[in-house]
Structure 1
């Protein structure tokens, strides 16, 4: 297994302190705060470890309350809201330095047959025809920033279909972005693990489409200050995070210092696996 992926899996392997209390390590991504995808994935791990194995996550709703401290552990407390015949609901609060930094509600369901339809997968080039992050980033960004971004994404093979925001500054275009992604190595068959890794990746690029609409490059070029506010995901069909997934993202609105991103994630064979919505702070720095 790729060393960076093993490091990420170790990060998601929480320490169980009490029956419903877990502790996770933290690390900085490319900014001096905990990466939002990390705390969301860890919170979902905590919730999932209190749920029967035959129930899989079908949705999560979360709020980012405070910037996480990458130098401190995060304690996750799970509240067992409900255990029904078909559905299980959990609430998780992540705490650092005595204060809540993140709140998540997640629901799990036993599999059952039902109605079945989906939106068709949009066209996209094969991922093998696209540049990897390690190939693309050094061509577009200063070396020190490119190196940090490559390291932060080393566990995931993430490939942009079109130029990302930091590569098209000053060129407003349709607020839509596509990326292919998969983990840099094979994973165990545990469905919770694949859902948690998809949750981790889902926070990496979702607000890109907001920036594209205005020709902004984001934190990498310093023309926007941003942070995730809330995040929601619905897991529709089985998928593997170690196989190619298409993240099709768009922004329907930006206003009042906030931007909204919404997306669908498809398996390579066209199955709609996940729907995602996120709102974030998107501020233009004052001179």
Structure 2
């Protein structure tokens, strides 16, 4: 079995058995010819990943719609804090948890619903939420096709570049937030001008490429025969990437609509 290029996957426990995998690069990856001691739990399958991810995204959508329709935008801040807390816990303690994944999904859905709802209150941004959803879905499908066909392979070098991009984006956004307390609009990342559009495009590209890491992690888990419960961990990662992608697409659309 090859070593995963995904840094998150390297922190996971040893695999339990070989199992059929995704098709990657147009060829079946097969199974691990040297499996470890068999596990009493059923191995993870592609269907497990798809179902758990779909359930998590359904929770995001339901929470988002409920927040936007009810107008309970005040819930955005506590939901954001819950989401950050769960995300940090899941990142530093990579263990599958259906409860935490669904709590994270609900929290993120609440945040997205509040932000989208506030945009929709302004006639200038009418329909922007649906456009962002369609854009996010389009990017997701596009990156899945790119991964499955092997057009872009997740190599250690590419992984390092993506991780560096995510860290850089995080530092930049945090610095901009802190600076905005002293200087209006901080670095101007979200001012709505040309610079803001370029930043959003860069962030969209980085968020899209994080999906490749999540696909690769799921591929490794299926190939290695991890227990089925690990599908929740993959679902968490996919939800996190899609939430960031949606937010950046939403922001980009809002900039393009400004007069």
- TM-score, normalising length from structure 2? 0.28
Which structure dedicates a bigger proportion of its chain to strand?
1
Larger radius of gyration: 2
Which structure dedicates a bigger proportion of its chain to helix?
2
